[in-house]
Amino acid sequence: MRDAAVFRQVLLAQWRWARLALVVLAVVGFAIPLASVFYGADLAGAGRSRVGDWLVAADRVASVLPYFALLTGVLVGVMAWTPDIAGRHVYALTLPVSRAYFVTLRFVAGALLTLVPAGAFAVGAVIASVSVSLPPGVHAHPADVAARFWLATLTVYAIIFAISSASRRGQIAIISIIGGAVLVDLLLLTLSADFSITAEAFALLTNWPGPLAILTGRWALFDV
């Protein structure tokens, strides 16, 4: 009972802090799928070539989705901790709960808040899907794309949350590793070496089973 009351207050406080950003993200998330059908809503009797053009245009719009999921995850992850960072964590650390418990509360609250833009995106995707008359063989995938968007947002959120909640020493270590990798890459570049640490690391992260693989590939709301 007390846990529920505490969580409700943490969620409300986090919402209070992040609500402006969340509303803007929700509006954009709602609008993106609708922009997919901007190029025409009645394709039932359209010819092959027009349907092809339409799918290419819809795909182009959908290509912004991974970036939008990245932006949403980063923003919600950073905003989960900024009030505590500003207060040097004094309030959080003097509340009568263990650190692990408080971190869990913050994480779950932030994860739930990602549902705001993800939910708006899902609603927009459903409206976009039902508002267009598709020719035979072309299908809308609003639930799949919405679920993928939410999972991608959650993945990015979890990574950023983990970095934000790390100790200062941990954060310095992460920044040092990235900075060190960039420096080594510059050195390799001057030696004309055919190898890049950052490119390898990026490939490792974005190729399955890397955590950011979910951001890559096609994000088609409409497909054959």
Partner 1 sequence: MTTHAIETRDLCYRPGPGFEIRDLSIKVRQGAIYGFLGPNGAGKTTTIQLLLGLRRARSGSISILGLDAPRELPRILGSTGYVPERPHLYPYLSVAEAIRYHGAFYPGFDWSYAEQLRKAFDLREGAKLSRVSKGEMGKLMILLVLAQRPDLLVLDEPTDGLDPVVRRDVLSALLDFCSQGAATVFISSHLVHELERICDWVGVLDRGRLAAELPMNAFKNGIKRIRLGRAPSLVGDTPFVVISQERSALEQVWVVRGWQPTMVQWFDGVGAEVKEIVDLDLEDGFVELLRGARAPQEG
- Chain contacts with partner 1 (rule: CB under 8 A): 2, 5-6, 8-10, 12-13, 16-17, 83, 87, 90-91, 93-98
Q: At closest approach, how far in Å is the CB of 7 from partner 1? A: 9
Q: At closest approach, how far in Å is the CB of 83 from partner 1? A: 5
Residue 140 has a CB neighbour count (10 Å cut-off) of: 23
Question: Smaller CB distance to partner 1: residue 1 or 191?
Answer: 1
Q: Which residue has the tokens 């182009």?
A: 60
Question: Smaller CB distance to partner 1: residue 89 or 141?
Answer: 89
Give Dmax (Cα) for the chain: 67
CA distances from 115 to 6, 23, 50, 79, 123 (A): 20, 11, 35, 15, 12
Q: At closest approach, how far in Å is the CB of 89 from partner 1? A: 8
Question: Smaller CB distance to partner 1: residue 83 or 210?
Answer: 83
Percent helix / strand / coil, the chain, rounded to 5? 75, 5, 20
Q: Identify the DSSP state of 42.
A: B
Q: At closest approach, how far in Å is the CB of 142 from partner 1? A: 34
Question: Smaller CB distance to partner 1: residue 12 or 186?
Answer: 12
